[in-house]
Amino acid sequence: MSETGSSAKIICRDVWKVFGRTPERVISQISPEQTHAQVLEQTGHVVAVRGVSFEVQKGETFVVMGLSGSGKSTLVRCVSRLTDPTRGEILFDGRDIMRMGEAELRELRRHTISMVFQNFGLFPHRRVIDNVAYGLEVRGVKKLERLETAAQMIELVGLKGWEYHLPRQLSGGMQQRVGLARALAVNPEILLFDEPFSALDPLIRREMQDELLRLQSTLHKTSIFITHDFAEALKLGDRIAIMRHGQFVQVGTPEELVLNPRNDYVNAFVKDAPRAKVITAATIMAPCPPDFDRSGCPTAAPDAKLEDVMPALVATDRPMAVLDGAGRALGYIDRARVLQALAGER
């Protein structure tokens, strides 16, 4: 078992996944500047994940965003060892899952990790409550206890009253709620989501995103969420990794990515981002001058998003004071600073 001094819940170090007959040889031979296509042409191997390293803190939602073929789904399957990485180190609470045998890995999946896939994966012949209770059944939990827990999870995801229906009687969004309830029923420490909402209609997708945010505000699960939708990444992620050709191009908070894209590839995603939903008052505030008069000024917390403070600024000619938890003024914002930030002039 590898030791680590980090407080991170999940640590991935130099994770590779190469598909082909001699993957280790290919890793040792390819150069950083070689593209996927060049490696495939020269070696006949596919480099799906290429030296990825990151950490996820306890209670954090870490989003991996990338287009089709970027390696994001392969990465999350490596994290759970549904796919064995070619090389690298993957730690859960300091335990290297690459060193785990089948029995230990099976226990980890039963008790520590739950996955939610794009394909709901429900048993069509089982009622909703039995689908949700399935993980507890595999654990050997007694029937009454597992059904009680399943009923609680069904209510938690807003499906109370549907316990004894079959999956075919539910809409796609409702079926995905069943999948989420099933993942939560085993009370996992870690949730792994592989594009769970991408097959849903836009309105249902937004509802599921809101539902996940609501649950996370209460449960504070450590999560890795895979998506190809940048708007979804901005909405759900505490931090976002943008992935391309098996590598992370940039990792940061939504605000960091929008305000400081590292290159043209990242900028292509963020240029149309809803800046008002991402930028905070603390980011654009100016220091208060010595004669700053707070009386009659609207106020905002440092982490307030611009979309939330704009109505108060529009309703008055006064600047807005940005206050800390003790009520002390940290700075101020006004209409001009907000407009500059929204226009990308900051």
Gap between the Cα atoms of 339 and 343, Å rounded: 6
Cβ(293)–Cβ(313) below 8 Å: no
Beta strand pairing status for 113-117 and 299-300?
unpaired
| CB-count burial class (<10 Å; 0-12, 13-18, 19+) for 336 | exposed
Please report, in tens digits, the pLDDT of each residue of the chain (346 residues total).
Answer: 334 445 899 999 999 999 999 999 999 999 888 888 899 999 999 999 999 999 999 999 999 999 999 999 999 999 999 999 999 999 999 999 999 999 999 999 888 999 998 887 899 999 999 999 999 999 999 999 999 999 999 999 999 999 999 999 999 999 999 999 999 999 999 999 999 998 889 999 999 999 999 999 999 999 999 999 999 999 999 999 999 999 999 999 999 999 999 999 999 999 889 999 999 999 999 999 888 888 889 999 999 999 999 999 999 889 999 999 999 999 999 999 999 999 886 5
